[in-house]
Amino acid sequence: MFSNLLAGLLFGTLSVRGAALSVAFVNPALGGGSMLDLAAPPLGEPLNVIISGLSSPAVLTDAGVLNFAQAIGFSTECLGIHIGAPQSANLGDGNGSVNQTVELRQDFGNSALGTCLESLIGGNHFRVFRQNGPSANTGALFLAVSKEEDAEENHTIVPDGYDVGRNEFVASAVGTTSNNGVTYSTVAQNISGLLPVGTAGINHDIAIDGIVTLLTVTIQ
């Protein structure tokens, strides 16, 4: 109920097309988009974490989200190598379906080479999509977070991996973290009603609980 009310209110503020909005996010469905990305159409993976557009502006840039990710245990892919096609998402902002901005992986405490270990043994990872189109320019970052198997299992998602991945990501983010001289304070709020509950439309036929976690990240 909260999510439906919130999304309706936010979408109603769009009076200047293309102008930046001082809101947390806009529900993609209101602009013809979806809270599922296009992983294997018609199936998708849930955009189960949102970094609020009300976060510190520097967090919402490409460099900023990478630094924040490194502060909470994620980094760029092993040696910069990406295997597999990028996924896309329609965030209902007027841009249509757009490829992920970046994919980041758990680094096991080593931002330089730790993601090579994730690629080998599996772990948490997430894809970033930015809501910045002319009809919903919030700057919010929509994340598809999931925990995956090791290389021998072809990096398929672990059982309950969407919810588990989200929960582990949020647990690492909430509170005070820092990296490269930047200190972050992060608060979380769970929202129901944006995603379905169950397996309908979900890639790998893995059930989800329908919860999206909204993170507001403030630079101290």
Question: What is the tens place of the pLDDT at every residue in 25-67?
Answer: 999 999 999 999 999 999 999 999 999 999 999 999 999 999 9
User: Is residue 148 classed as helix, strand or coil in its secondary structure?
Assistant: strand
Q: Which tokens belong to 74?
A: 């994620």
- Average of per-residue pLDDT across 146-164: 78
Q: Which residue spans within 5-148 are E strands per DSSP?
A: 49-51, 74-75, 88-90, 97-99, 102-106, 123-130, 141-148
Q: Which domain holds residue 13?
A: 2-219
Summarised one tens digit per residue, pLDDT across range 167-195 is 999 999 999 999 999 999 999 999 999 99
pTM metric for this prediction: 0.88
What's the domain count of the chain? 1
Contact assessment for residue 74 and residue 126, using Cβ atoms and an 8 Å cutoff: yes
Average pLDDT for the chain: 88
Strand 49-51 versus strand 211-219 pairing type: parallel
